[in-house]
Structure 1
Amino acid sequence: MRIACIGAGPAGLYLAILIKLRDPNTEITIFEQNPAGVTHGWGVVFFNDMVEALRKNDPVTADKILDQSFEWVGQILDMEGSPPLRGLGGGFSIGRQQLLDILTARAAALGVKIHFEHKITDASRLPDADVIVAADGASSRLRQLKADRFETQISEGRNRYVWLGTTKIFNNFTFGFAPTKAGWIWFHAYGFSQQMSTLIAECSSDTWTGLGFDRLGRDESLACLECIFEHHLAGHRLISKANADKGLPWLTFRWVKNIKWHADNIVLVGDSAHTTHFSIGSGTQLAIQDAISLATNLQAHTDVQAALKAYETERQHALLQPCKKAHLSAQWFESIPRYIQLDPSHFFTLLLSRRSPIVPLLPPAIYCQLDRITNKTQVLRKLRSLAATLYYERQRT
């Protein structure tokens, strides 16, 4: 079998590794539009279930990833003007470039051919292969070539956000909130090495405009954010990879959904197939799981179309809950004015519960009272059932 993969992100690289491990005779080639060593973003997050999957499928790669990973413990709400509050939880993070370097080296050692600076712009440039994998991200050019076949649906979130780095090491996953003259602004931050952390700043579009980020250049914007988050950063700097002559690359989140995940011999993986909001930290993990599923089904079925269909069915079902939780989490952060005036302990309760379908249905104060009731199992079960029903009804309409 000949497989061509468009995109050398985590999904494409890990898929190539698994296929070569299972059948060294498979010819697999990766085409990446960027030069080697060039990527976006800072650190990525993953959890214990991904660690188990990595160890099960390729212990060599798992050990190398874990050796370079940063383990963070617990979650913190650091609301300016109030003492920090601590919650449970934990996970791992690693620099995106470090992760790609590990996967690239492993794939190459197994005989995968990787061509950098190779952009697919039209159908005439598609390679001749039995299976073509679209692993080229949320803005996938390959997917766009057959958008009508995939029945792609794209929508945008309301908030603005920007990925930054900082020399402040966050040993816990930290949510920092600060008031400004234009409204509240906050960040999601976590360490990914002993020298660096990822910091994602987020705010409403009105706050973004009110603070002038639609007009400020990169350095002015960084200085403004450093001033706003001075209490949280403790003198550390914020860093952007954007060009100095441009503003910061603020984004609105793009929700990508595809009714079909394969068309002819082209199949979608990772962000080209689906996106989940950064506030649940599952993008890389879900991409790796896509790769595992696709590799498994290609091995299990002699017929390519049967393999692609089985993969599509399996992963679409697996994504139902993560996508639901991602939408609820994003909606919670888009509704900050509904919660921000609460007592910090109540606010933190709701932040940690943001993926529950009950939260948007109940007045915040009532939810917090319910959360403190000892014998609440049956009440919560009924409310969850009602909330799930209402959620899916909204999705249909």
Structure 2
Amino acid sequence: MKIVCIGGGPAGLYFGLLMKKLDPAHDITVVERNKPYDTFGWGVVFSDATMDNMRIWDPETADEIQAAFNHWDDIELRFKGRTIRSGGHGFVGIGRKKLLNILQARCESLGVNLVFETEAESDESYPDADLVIASDGIFSRIRSKYEDVFKPDIVVRPNRYIWLGTNKLYDAFTFDFVKTEHGWFQAHIYKFDDQTTTFIVECPEHVWLAHGLDKADQEQSIAFCERLFADNLKGARLMTNARHLRGSAWLNFQRVVCEQWWLRNAHGAHVVLMGDAVHTAHFAIGSGTKLAVEDAIELARQFQQLGHSPDRIPEVLAAYQEARRIETLRLQNAAWNAMEWFEVCGERYCDQFEPEQFMYSMLTRSQRISHENLRLRDKTSLEDYERWFADQAGVAPVNDQAAPPPMFTPLTVRGVTLKNRIVVSPMAQYSAQDGVAGDYHLAHLGARAMGGAGLVFAEMTSVSADGRITPGCPGLYQPEHTEAFRRIADWIHTRTDAKFGIQIGHAGAKGSTRVAWEGIDLPLASGNWPLISASPQQYLEGLSQRSREMTRADMDDVTSQFVASTRAAAEAGADWLELHCAHGYLLSSFISPLTNQRGDEYGGSLEGRMRYPLEVFRAVRAAWPADKPISVRISAHDWVQGGTLPADAVEIARAFKAAGADLIDCSSGQVSKKEAPVYGRMFQTPFADRIRQEAGISTIAVGAISEADHVNSILAAGRADLCAIARPHLANPAWTLMEAARIGYAQINWPPQYRSAKAQMEANIQREKAAIAAGR
């Protein structure tokens, strides 16, 4: 094949040498704008996994790169006058110039044709090529030329950064945070050779503007950064590479994702994007070069497997795109999380967190490093942090005693203390008879209370018969309902040390439907009751009953129903109350602009839409005992254009906090069937995190939290105060006890009737771990 690589970065060079190794008969040319051995830029970071791949594909290159690497295990944080270290992270760094020089020399030794000082204007400049590799960087001309085919999604991020260097050498990947009168700056610092360190300075746009850095030239910007980080630099100077076309200015990071990665041009050549031209990863996790090298490896692998001749190119490129898309998106998601953390840390974490928790939050920012992964990396540091966290929770260990993991620390809200941070989430069971929670509910909720959770919620409990979702939903609007819940509360309080919570709500336009296993959200075949909501609507278009708009008299009636149910919950002995204002139910229908089209004072702006839910909450809070907590469940994101967004959720939370709410239960969606959620593990936790920091109220994280590791990571990072576990608790009532055994926490109390199983379960889990470690 005749192959032309446009752009002499890591992707083009490495792919060129790999293909030349596969078949020396390939005619391969790499075209580069710079002079031979005259590339610019500072250090880049690799992972051990990438190096392992490179050793397989070209040991000679890998050995030479390895010899030039600077390796470090520690991450160091400089923050609020403190310096904290965490070890075991295993980074390797190399100068970009050194890396490219190694790849250039290797290409020459294999017979790859390197063309320097040449600006490749177009793929069509090489009409006789079979394959053109467009590795021409983030501002790729070829990607722009075929934009309608490649369909790039380019997002310009708000922070400003300047990529500098210094001759001061550091023995750890160092993060330095400095507060000014206008806000926070942070530096990302790592050594990449025996003389030089990368020193990236970053800040939010508004801070950059407030300091006048938009008007500063290169020298003034460097002088500013030297003054800002003088305590760190200790007299060392900062440098920029003046010849680097883009490295000397303050930049905005651009996230690039392409829908299509390859095409066939007018001359019949196949053109494929690679490296930054097709995807970018933020420097917060240092993965741009990693992605580029692994692109080259994967494309070479596909040619090796499917055949490296011109007629195989379409099949190879299709397989390459499919293979790389998944891995790239995974890494880009992690990089996005890390990038967002640095973008918001000044306003969200820097002022609120102590250095210990700030360090933990920073280490876990991408969600790729979890609590137990930190234990593997640096057991001593993590245990020190667990002791700090436990001390904040009022359970400081004695002497050198191990601290409980965060999930097993208590939490006190008003006059109620939960023994741990695990909540059995309200989960509809559709098993009540005429609103009465019967034997099924006693068995269901009692089992989960015995299973170790700190707080067990009954499912959404309706404030009226017409407020039920289905005929199988429980209620608190008749005396027999109160007695039924008193029976459950008494059982839980007598036989366990869990607390019992009741969530009250009104189904609104989503009521009068069948139980889930007979057709979720479908209207009853008969016996329907009238529906009300903020505005007339059909939840399922063309299928659901149509609700009517509530009048002021309706509002008064429903408010009195919520108050009566609140008093009934207190009489029944519930420890905790939650007001359901999410998922498109009645109070949610007022909050979301998708379901509230009212023209009176209860519609329009968010303030207007919040008016009635706040009226209900204030009445409920006044009727509920002052020494008991109330949480409010909200939909923090409607996942529909024009609906509630996370920024709105912060304002919603602030309003409920001002009215007396103790916690916000941060769910999302289920307001409209047009929703398009982005699912993933812990996918709703960012809402709890943002609301907790920006609204200044405690939060409950929910959604795809399925392991103790998830819970401990969320709590330890300060992203939420409680974690509500739903489906895992359906599968295993003793989920909390099981997860304690899984992470080796033996100090948790089991019900006396079950204690004979505790040691056996713990031993079985340890044997399983040992077998896995031994490869059996």
Q: TM-score normalized by structure 2?
A: 0.47
Change in 2 beyond 3 A, CA 1:98/1:219:
same
The offset of 1:97, in angstroms, is 0.4
Contact 1:2 1:27 in 2 (8 A): yes
Alignment-derived partner of residue 145 in structure 1: 145
The CA deviation string for residues 105-152 of structure 1, in whole angstroms up to 9 with x for no partner, is 000110000111221224542342111100111111122221111111
1:273 aligns with 2:278: yes
Contact 1:218 1:247 in 2 (8 A): no
Trace 1:44-83 onto structure 2 (pairs within 5 A): 44-83=44-83
Alignment-derived partner of residue 322 in structure 1: 331
1:361 aligns with 2:361: no
In structure 1, give the amino acid aligned to 2:142. Answer: L
Alignment-derived partner of residue 422 in structure 2: none
Higher RCO (CA-CA < 8 Å; seq separation 6+): 1
Change in 2 beyond 3 A, CA 1:247/1:306:
closer
Instruction: Provide the rounded CA distance (Å) in 2 between the counterparts of 1:262 and 1:153.
Output: 15
Secondary structure of the 1:213 match is coil
2:316 to 291, 307, 310: 307
The offset of 1:298, in angstroms, is 1.8
Change in 2 beyond 3 A, CA 1:378/1:163:
closer
Secondary structure of the 2:284 match is helix
The offset of 1:96, in angstroms, is 0.3
Contact 2:73 2:90 in 1 (8 A): yes
Identical-residue share of aligned pairs (%): 38
Contact 1:156 1:252 in 2 (8 A): yes
1:286 aligns with 2:291: yes
Contact 1:17 1:107 in 2 (8 A): yes
Contact 2:134 2:277 in 1 (8 A): yes
Contact 1:218 1:243 in 2 (8 A): no
Alignment-derived partner of residue 221 in structure 1: 221
The offset of 1:243, in angstroms, is 6.5
Change in 2 beyond 3 A, CA 1:170/1:247:
closer
1:259 aligns with 2:255: no
Trace 1:165-180 onto structure 2 (pairs within 5 A): 165-180=165-180
Trace 1:207-246 onto structure 2 (pairs within 5 A): 207-242=207-242
Contact 1:190 1:198 in 2 (8 A): yes
Instruction: Provide the rounded CA distance (Å) in 1 between the counterparts of 2:275 and 2:125.
Output: 22
Secondary structure of the 1:290 match is helix
The offset of 1:213, in angstroms, is 1.4
Instruction: Provide the rounded CA distance (Å) in 2 between the counterparts of 1:384 and 1:97.
Output: 50
Trace 1:132-211 onto structure 2 (pairs within 5 A): 132-211=132-211
Instruction: Provide the rounded CA distance (Å) in 1 between the counterparts of 2:250 and 2:45.
Output: 21
The offset of 1:84, in angstroms, is 3.4
Contact 1:152 1:259 in 2 (8 A): yes
Contact 1:165 1:199 in 2 (8 A): yes
The offset of 1:181, in angstroms, is 1.8
Instruction: Provide the rounded CA distance (Å) in 1 between the counterparts of 2:262 and 2:74.
Output: 39
Alignment-derived partner of residue 344 in structure 1: 355
Unaligned runs of 5+ in 2: 265-269, 368-681, 702-706, 715-722, 727-776
Secondary structure of the 2:89 match is strand
Secondary structure of the 1:289 match is helix
Contact 1:45 1:92 in 2 (8 A): yes
Contact 2:240 2:247 in 1 (8 A): no
The CA deviation string for residues 190-236 of structure 1, in whole angstroms up to 9 with x for no partner, is 00111110011000011111122111222222111111101111211
The CA deviation string for residues 322-359 of structure 1, in whole angstroms up to 9 with x for no partner, is 01111111111111110011111111111111112535
Alignment RMSD (CA, Å): 2.6
The offset of 1:378, in angstroms, is 7.1
In structure 2, give the amino acid aligned to 1:361. Answer: A
In structure 1, give the amino acid aligned to 2:16. Answer: A
In structure 2, give the amino acid aligned to 1:221. Answer: S
Contact 1:294 1:308 in 2 (8 A): yes
2:301 to 296, 300, 322: 296
Change in 2 beyond 3 A, CA 1:221/1:381:
closer
Alignment-derived partner of residue 334 in structure 1: 343
The offset of 1:304, in angstroms, is 0.7
Contact 1:80 1:176 in 2 (8 A): no
The offset of 1:14, in angstroms, is 0.6
Instruction: Provide the rounded CA distance (Å) in 2 between the counterparts of 1:47 and 1:210.
Output: 37
Alignment-derived partner of residue 39 in structure 2: 39
The 10-residue stretch of structure 1 (260-269 or 125-134) with the greater mean CA deviation from structure 2: 125-134
The CA deviation string for residues 66-97 of structure 1, in whole angstroms up to 9 with x for no partner, is 11111122101111422334354121111100
Contact 1:216 1:247 in 2 (8 A): no
In structure 1, give the amino acid aligned to 2:303. Answer: L
Instruction: Provide the rounded CA distance (Å) in 1 between the counterparts of 2:137 and 2:243.
Output: 22
Change in 2 beyond 3 A, CA 1:45/1:377:
closer
Contact 1:8 1:30 in 2 (8 A): yes
1:2 aligns with 2:7: no
Instruction: Provide the rounded CA distance (Å) in 2 between the counterparts of 1:148 and 1:89.
Output: 41
Instruction: Provide the rounded CA distance (Å) in 2 between the counterparts of 1:184 and 1:278.
Output: 18
Instruction: Provide the rounded CA distance (Å) in 1 between the counterparts of 2:247 and 2:26.
Output: 45
Instruction: Provide the rounded CA distance (Å) in 2 between the counterparts of 1:247 and 1:125.
Output: 28
Alignment-derived partner of residue 102 in structure 1: 102
Change in 2 beyond 3 A, CA 1:309/1:112:
same
The offset of 1:360, in angstroms, is 5.4
Instruction: Provide the rounded CA distance (Å) in 2 between the counterparts of 1:376 and 1:318.
Output: 26
In structure 2, give the amino acid aligned to 1:35. Answer: K
Change in 2 beyond 3 A, CA 1:247/1:3:
closer
Change in 2 beyond 3 A, CA 1:187/1:377:
closer
Alignment-derived partner of residue 395 in structure 1: none
Change in 2 beyond 3 A, CA 1:360/1:106:
farther
Contact 1:350 1:359 in 2 (8 A): no
In structure 2, give the amino acid aligned to 1:338. Answer: R
In structure 2, give the amino acid aligned to 1:305. Answer: P
Change in 2 beyond 3 A, CA 1:384/1:279:
farther
Instruction: Provide the rounded CA distance (Å) in 2 between the counterparts of 1:316 and 1:378.
Output: 26
Change in 2 beyond 3 A, CA 1:88/1:384:
farther
Instruction: Provide the rounded CA distance (Å) in 2 between the counterparts of 1:196 and 1:381.
Output: 35
Change in 2 beyond 3 A, CA 1:184/1:46:
same
Instruction: Provide the rounded CA distance (Å) in 2 between the counterparts of 1:221 and 1:58.
Output: 41
Instruction: Provide the rounded CA distance (Å) in 2 between the counterparts of 1:322 and 1:257.
Output: 12
Q: TM-score normalized by structure 1?
A: 0.90
Instruction: Provide the rounded CA distance (Å) in 1 between the counterparts of 2:140 and 2:187.
Output: 28
